[in-house]
Chains A and B, each alone.
Chain A
Amino acid sequence: MALLQLSEPGQSPDPHARRVAVGIDLGTTHSLVAALRHGHAESLPDAEGRVLLPSIVRYRDDGGVDLGHTAQAAQGEDPEHTIASVKRLMGRKLADLPDAGKLPYRLVDGAGMVHIGTPQGAKSPVEVSAQILAELRRRAEDSFDTDLFGAVITVPAYFDDAQRQATKDAAELAGLKVLRLINEPTAAAVAYGLDNGSEGLYLIYDLGGGTFDVSLLRLSRGVFEVVATGGDSALGGDDFDRALAAWVLAHAGLAVETARDKQAVLSAARHAKEALTDADQVGLSAGLSIGALKVPVDRSAFDAATRPLIDRTIAVMRKVLRDARVDKGDVQGVVLVGGATRMPSVRAAVQAHFGRPPLTNLDPDQVVALGAAIQANALAGNSREGELLLLDVIPLSLGLETMGGLVERIIERNTTIPVAKAQEFTTFKDGQTAMAIHVVQGERELVSDCRSLARFELRGIPPMAAGAARIRVTFQVDADGLLSVSAREVTSGVEATVVVKPSYGLSDDDVARMLREGFRTAEDDMRARALREAQVDAERLALATRSALAADGDLLNPDERSAIDRHLAALDAARRGADDSAIRSALDALADSTEAFAAARMNRSIRSALTGRRVEEV
């Protein structure tokens, strides 16, 4: 739309202000960062040329922290304090983790979610993830020799609100500005779609280290529309290691007790699984405290031991197709994502189900980060207009508890975001002045079978007869898939509004403390950075506003125009100074004064889009 265009296509408004934005795949077993370079998405390597960073953090006795490959090397000697697969713990309480006893860590319920005991105190999964993210941020900053504008972080499509919030908190703790959380299968589709110029229905089968996701997408001229999604947030490649380890131990007639032995068997199983991708038979061996373990494993034994896991993935695929009311014959292609899809048995099962070979031409370990990088670049305002638009959905229904412990669903799963929906409830007792509101997520009828997201009370309802009050509860899910809920009593004109964000995340105090403790550098640096960011934002907004005025200034009357001009001048003055908070308030003032103008421009642009269409049709 020419009316919305801020500059010539392909040109950044200011060549010095190109924003470096990255895509980060924060994976269960490994993580990586990618960015656009010379128009192509590339994974960024570390100093040794390695792209994948094992998602492993070790908290040492001496107060130091090891990350990635270094931590992985220590897994055998210090399994209890070397934390792997922390993604499985994000936003989870002990009660959510049936297999907690099989993990080599000391887990305790802490603020909001489970914590892991280390020599440096109990660490939340958010802090552990932040260590990994901070390492990737440093890698990207070194690669570009500049501060990052922001990042798109990927999450499994099936992550619930608590898991998403925890991921966002971890990124902020690592000093990253989160431009967007996007779903991993969607990111993979972006990477494939832009490379292959595909159109039609595509199914993404994403089997990562610890999560399984299926998304069905419709691709149509740069628009990626998620039609339905499903998955299992506790099924991944790690489970294949465990299944094989259990089979081997049963076969050898052994039982292991210590954390170190458990870890040794699991590592041996992982190596055997990976070797079986190319070999038909391998020897699995591990040195245990109870003696040496040595068992030959052939592929058919491995396939038999892990078949139930593959069957679970097939059942999820069926359900997604049924949700979308799509026949498997309508699917144009199946994309495999995640290192675990290298297993020949997975490829064979997918091929058997769809009767055609899956698409595997992009590296399944990197494809998610590459797609996230493409979206990050677009959200930073660098990409040409009209290139790409993601329309994602919420994976799980959202609702409220009603009388009798039943769930009233407010927003159904697979609804496109952003979305807002309101529903009215009433009081059930005469003179009732408060109402408890319990927000839940899930598909089941009973509250006890769903995940509890938040509870709050609406107080100050004027006393009325039962059923006379009208309490309007509004759910809003933003483009990150994060929920906020508000409630208001409407009949009396008395207003009481509460907005909750689920409290699984960290409090501001927690964040401040953790920032002091580590991830960010000295305070002076932070201030300088805040000022630079504010100046760049101010420059951008001033430029955007001036081009909007040039294009659509006729929509304003002289009073409105002079108010905007006044705020623009104030912003110009502020951004030449060194006070970032003065710049921020000038930014807010200009934004507020242009809100009605923005709305009027939107109306005009939609009308002109419609007119353009009519002309085309004639």
Chain B
Amino acid sequence: MKIDDDDFTLFALPRRFAIDGNALAQRWRELQAEVHPDRFAAEGAAAQRVAMQWAVRVNEAYQRLKDPLARATYLCALAGHRLDPHDNHAMPPAFLVRQMEWHDALAEAESTDDVNALDGEVDAQLKQLRRDVQADLDERHDALAALPKLRQWMFLARLREEIERRLEALES
């Protein structure tokens, strides 16, 4: 086990999109229990520095594996296909039109019920994308096919953040 192993190796998990969230969290706590700087409180500066690097590395991997979009993007990168977040050329027109409709609906929503209804639609779309990406990565082993779906996923994730901000604003 080395600090520059990939995230899946580090967490002793199979390199696939579907993941057991409980096993991941459990493994994270076990790893932190081994490497956290507080475990080396009495061991001097060198051990502290090494422990700090490890604790940061373990947290970085955990954040990436825990988040499905980050995990999928990472799997694509491991397969040699990096996602360029600024490259929008492959976005299907129908998807872009729908995006605009949703943004307009959010801007016009007046009650939390309106926003929650919209949130439901976006969520359903996100779940569908997630299933498709999982099939691409885990069954067809075709990371290239997953890439355009990840771009759409990023769009929707951002929309989701706006929806949440709007909900907070409406509640306060």
Contacts and interface: CB of A to CB of B under 8 A. Distances in A.
Interface of A: 1, 4, 6, 13, 179-180, 220-223, 225, 315, 318-319, 322, 378-381, 385-386, 389-391, 415-421, 476, 478-479, 537, 540-541, 544-545, 548, 587-588, 590-595, 597-599, 602-603, 605-607, 609-610, 613
A606 B35 contact: yes
Interface string B29-50: 1111111111101111111011
* Most chain B beta-carbon neighbours within 10 Å: one of A588, A598, A603: A598
Which of A222, A379, A391, A417 has most chain B Cβ within 10 Å? A391
Contact of B39 (A315, A385, A478, A545): A385
Contact of B50 (A378, A386, A595): A595
B39 A603 contact: no
B63 interface: yes
B38 A610 contact: no
A590 B44 contact: yes
B110 interface: no
B1 A606 contact: yes
A416 B62 contact: yes
Contacts of A594: 44, 46-47
A222 B3 CA distance: 25
Nearest to A544: B43
B150 to A, nearest CB: 19
Given A381-B42, A418-B55, A610-B1, A598 B34 contact: no
Nearest to A419: B59
A221 B25 CA distance: 13
B49 A418 contact: no
B32 A479 contact: no
B39 A544 contact: no
B144 interface: no
Contact of A591 (B3, B31, B38, B44): B44
A587 B44 contact: yes
Given A381-B42, A389-B38, A598-B46, A419 B32 contact: no
Given A419-B60, A606-B1, A544 B42 contact: yes
A281 B42 CA distance: 55
Contacts of B32: 223, 389, 391
Contacts of B42: 6, 13, 380-381, 540, 544
Contacts of B46: 590-595, 597-598
B37 A6 contact: no
B172 interface: yes
A548 B44 CA distance: 12
Interface string B81-120: 0000000000000000000000000000000000000000
Contacts of B35: 602, 606
A590 B1 CA distance: 26
Nearest to A541: B44
A588 B63 CA distance: 34
A606 B31 contact: yes
Contact of B44 (A322, A418, A540): A540
Contacts of B20: none
B2 interface: yes
25 contacts: A180-B38, A220-B29, A380-B41, A381-B41, A389-B29, A389-B39, A418-B37, A419-B56, A476-B56, A478-B52, A479-B38, A537-B44, A544-B44, A587-B44, A590-B44, A591-B45, A594-B47, A595-B50, A598-B49, A598-B50, A602-B34, A603-B1, A603-B3, A607-B1, A613-B12
Given A386-B33, A420-B60, 17 more contacts: A4-B39, A223-B33, A318-B171, A381-B41, A389-B38, A416-B62, A418-B52, A541-B44, A544-B47, A548-B43, A587-B44, A591-B44, A597-B46, A598-B50, A602-B51, A609-B30, A609-B34
A379 B41 contact: yes
Contact of B171 (A180, A315, A380, A613): A315
A594 B47 CA distance: 8
B74 interface: no
What are the 3 A-B residue pairs with the smallest beta carbon separation, nearest first? A381-B42, A591-B45, A591-B46
Contacts of B171: 315, 318
Contacts of A318: 171
Nearest to A600: B50
Contacts of A225: 29
Contact of A378 (B1, B41, B45): B41
A574 to B, nearest CB: 15
Contacts of A540: 42, 44
Contacts of B51: 602
B63 A415 contact: yes
A588 B46 CA distance: 9
A218 to B, nearest CB: 8
Contacts of B43: 6, 541, 544, 548, 598
Nearest to B63: A415
B168 interface: yes
A418 B30 contact: no
A64 B143 CA distance: 73
Contacts of B31: 606, 609
A120 to B, nearest CB: 39
A381 B12 CA distance: 30
Nearest to A543: B42
B50 A416 contact: no
A418 B39 contact: no
B34 A606 contact: yes
A220 B29 CA distance: 9
A389 B168 contact: no
Contacts of B59: 415-419
A241 B155 CA distance: 48
Contacts of A593: 46
B54 interface: yes
B49 to A, nearest CB: 7
A479 B32 CA distance: 13
A607 B5 CA distance: 12
A599 B50 contact: yes
Given A389-B36, A479-B37, A606-B1, A418 B56 contact: yes
A327 B109 CA distance: 25
Contacts of A603: 1-3
Contacts of A417: 59
Nearest to B50: A598
Nearest to B36: A389
A94 B45 CA distance: 40
Contacts of B33: 222-223, 386, 389
B38 A1 contact: no
Contacts of A537: 44
B45 A588 contact: yes
Contacts of A380: 41-42
A97 B171 CA distance: 25
Given A223-B32, A544-B43, A606-B31, A420 B56 contact: yes
A13 B50 CA distance: 22
Interface in B2-39: 2-3, 12, 29-39
B50 A613 contact: no
A594 B46 CA distance: 6
